[in-house]
């Protein structure tokens, strides 16, 4: 496989469940991201990992817990979610560098989450 | 704070015609990058085109070109000879150039483009 792969593509969970979203990139990139995409809202950056270290946590509620065991894998652990957390969760990766050109994001196809 | 505004939530264009999607942004920086991403029904965001702010020449990628007006902070996308496969949500995005690892890409709300056969 190539690119950025996300599983599962669809997930339905109750408010008391615990589940995880998985992202894997096969591009040799050193940075990975979680974005939340809700209807009629801009993409919201949730977490950024550079070289496996979390460098951004955009005031995300603690019911979302990221994990980056290595530079190729990224997880988003979910527990006690709310119905308003229903959204498309997109994973992305990039090769972060201080040299031009700009770091371009490569996205996965997303995980559609529905919280009942 | 930087912002990206796409004022057209939806647009339609006849197949084979040309359409222009608008984007404006606000920043106090002088060195940055602008992007157009496409999100088809398959949901995977794909980079369409990229523009470096320090370059005066407008970027082009086959049927896709941009009109970059730095002073006006405008970055429109022109799609020529529209095809059915161009139907998608299009996002304009901005990223500051810098050495700070925390620099992040800021997206607009998107424009849904319909292609009419």
pLDDT tens digit at each of 116 positions of chain A: 569 999 999 999 988 889 999 999 999 888 899 999 998 788 888 998 887 677 777 689 999 999 999 989 999 999 999 999 999 999 999 887 666 556 688 999 999 999 99
* Closest approach of B69 to chain A, Cα-based (Å): 19
pLDDT at B103 over 80: no
A chain contacts of residue B102, beta-carbon cutoff 8 Å: 48, 55-56
Whether chain A has a CB inside 8 Å of the CB on B100: the answer is no
Residue A67 CB neighbour total at 10 angstroms? 14
The DSSP secondary structure of chain A, one letter per residue, reads: --SEEEE-SEEEE-TT-EEEEEEEE-S--SEEEEEEE-TTS--EEEEEEETTEEEEE-S--TTEEEEEEETTEEEEEEES--GGG-EEEEEEEE---SSSSPPPPEE---EEEEE-
Instruction: From A13, A4, A59, A12, select the one nearest A36 (Cα to Cα).
Output: A59
Write down the pLDDT at residue B49. Answer: 96
Q: B109, A90: Cβ pair inside 8 Å?
A: no
Whether chain A has a CB inside 8 Å of the CB on B4: the answer is yes
Q: For residue range B10-34, what is the model confidence (pLDDT) as tens digits?
A: 999 999 999 999 999 999 988 889 9
Write down the pLDDT at residue B98. Answer: 65
* Closest approach of A78 to chain B, Cα-based (Å): 21
Residue A58 CB neighbour total at 10 angstroms? 13
Q: Between A and B, how many residue pairs show a Cβ–Cβ distance under 8 A?
A: 55
């Amino acid at each position: 496989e190539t690119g950025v792969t996300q599983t599962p593509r669809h997930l339905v969970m109750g408010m008391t469940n615990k589940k995880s979203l998985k992202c894997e990139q096969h591009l040799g990139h050193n940075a990975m991201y979680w974005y939340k995409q809700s209807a009629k809202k801009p993409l919201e950056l949730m977490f950024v990992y550079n070289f496996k270290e979390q460098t951004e946590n955009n005031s995300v509620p603690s019911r979302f817990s990221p994990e980056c065991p290595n530079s190729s894998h990224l997880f988003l652990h979910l527990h006690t979610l709310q119905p308003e957390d229903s959204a498309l969760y997109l994973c992305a990766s990039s090769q972060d560098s201080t040299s031009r050109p700009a770091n371009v994001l490569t996205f996965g196809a997303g995980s559609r989450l529905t919280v009942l | 704070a930087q912002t990206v505004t796409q004022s057209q939530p939806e647009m339609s264009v006849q197949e084979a015609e040309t359409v222009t999607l608008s984007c404006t942004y606000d920043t106090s920086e002088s060195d940055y990058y602008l992007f157009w991403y496409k999100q088809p029904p398959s949901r995977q965001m794909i980079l369409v085109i990229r523009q470096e702010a320090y370059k005066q020449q407008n970027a082009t990628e086959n049927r896709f070109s941009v009109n970059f007006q730095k002073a006006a902070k405008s970055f429109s996308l022109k799609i020529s000879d529209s095809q059915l496969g161009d139907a998608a949500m299009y996002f304009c995005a901005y990223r500051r150039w810098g050495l700070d690892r925390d620099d992040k890409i800021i997206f607009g709300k998107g424009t849904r483009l319909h292609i009419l056969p």
